[in-house]
Amino acid sequence: MTAITAESFAGKSVLITGGMGFIGSNLAIRLVELGAKVTVLDSMIPDYGGNEFNLYPVSDKVRVNYCDIRDENAVTYLVKDQDYVFHLAGQVCHVMSLSNPFPDIEINITGTAILMEALRKHNKNAIVVYTGTRGQYGASVSLPVNEEAPTNPKGIYEISNLSAEKIIKVYNDVHGIRSVLLRLSNIYGPRSQMKHSRFGVVNWFCRVALDDDKIQLFGDGTILRDFLYVDDCVEAILMSALTPEAYGEIFNVGSDIPVNFRELVEAIIKVARQGKWEFAEFSAERKAQEPGDFYSDVTKMARMVGWKPTTGLEEGLAKTIDFYRKHRDKYWTRAGEPVVSGSKG
Ligand SMILES: NC(=O)c1ccc[n+]([C@@H]2O[C@H](COP(=O)([O-])OP(=O)(O)OC[C@H]3O[C@@H](n4cnc5c(N)ncnc54)[C@H](O)[C@@H]3O)[C@@H](O)[C@H]2O)c1
């Protein structure tokens, strides 16, 4: 169990794959604050989560390499001499993964293998943190869901995350590359893509409220989730990287307070002081993938890493909404691109 201090990452070299995206950019900003030498790898595939504006507070302090995680030469070059590798690059849209499985297979599975091979050959001393998804469990057998629960993923995205996790675990166990395997719940907060509703449901609902449009609540709104503010997620990533007992272990990273979607939407409208909502039918695709109630048991993270979420839902939503109100022009659309409309979630 290791607390983050001013010395923890000072002068350390870190690589963040997917560092132009939502969680990766928040992580990069925090690591720069902590004095780390940060390199970001990101391919900026259109419609994925990368946004150059995400790194604006630290743009002169971060080395950005625009390349693909599947580019063996670039990855080999970038992993050398890194103390930590935070692996967050990925295709993250579970809806898309059902109609086209190949980006998930190529980016999330093959890309992870390329990264781990590069580490095996060129930098076995780096400490790796991987951010998988709670979707790896599929439908919950009992609640809250702990790390012993069976994994029955309901989509290709989730399968690809589980495969990536298992690949990294092999490199931890067989090749001695110390790695932490996180399974994140629904993360929300500043720096998520806000152009379309295909992933990032809480952030998308915030956008619809800020547009004073109607949030569409699928089903009857009673499905439970544990929504986690991104700063808490970043602390979990960093604290687990610093905890030797965590290497080779799988951890849930979520909130210990389950909230249903109706409560979430009402909280967003209350905090934003605008927006409306209505019930809507699930699309067939979304219904097939919906795992039902899910909330994480995060006691293992508390016990072994000493991490606990500290941001309440309304507090996190207030920070999120404030950020997007200020920077709406950077997130609703990019220069020259049409605004994607619609109020799905
Ligand atoms: N946000 C969540 O709620 C959540 C929940 C569970 C798991 N995760 C996982 O956490 C990680 C980060 O998620 P996020 O929400 O920040 O997503 P994001 O889409 O905002 O960030 C992912 C980044 O990876 C980059 N990327 C995609 N394909 C790439 C490739 N081939 N080469 C290099 N870069 C590539 C994207 O451009 C983007 O900047 C992902 O692995 C995701 O599956 C996120």
Q: Structural domain boundaries of the chain?
A: 13-188+227-253
Closest CA to 177 of 113, 266, 261: 113
Ligand 1 contact, 69 CB (< 6 A): yes
Say which residues have a Cβ less than 8 Å from residue 60's Cβ, sequence separation at least 6: none
pLDDT at 287: 78
Q: Which residue has the higher pLDDT, 294 or 219?
A: 294
Ligand 1 centroid to residue 273 C-alpha, Å: 30
pTM: 0.96
Ligand 1 centroid to residue 50 C-alpha, Å: 8
pLDDT at residue 21 is higher than 80: yes
Ligand 1 centroid to residue 23 C-alpha, Å: 7
Closest CA to 132 of 60, 181, 79, 176: 181
Nearest CA to ligand 1 atom 26: 89
pLDDT at residue 69 is higher than 90: yes
Superfamily classification of domain 13-188+227-253: NAD(P)-binding Rossmann-like Domain (3.40.50.720)
pLDDT at residue 342 is higher than 50: no
Bridge-partner residues for 278, per DSSP? 216
Tell me the longest C-alpha to C-alpha distance in the chain.
54
First to last CA, the chain: 37
pLDDT at 291: 81
Ligand 1 contact, 23 CB (< 6 A): yes
Top mutation candidate among 42, 64, 92, 108 for ligand 1, by most atoms within 8 Å of CB: 92
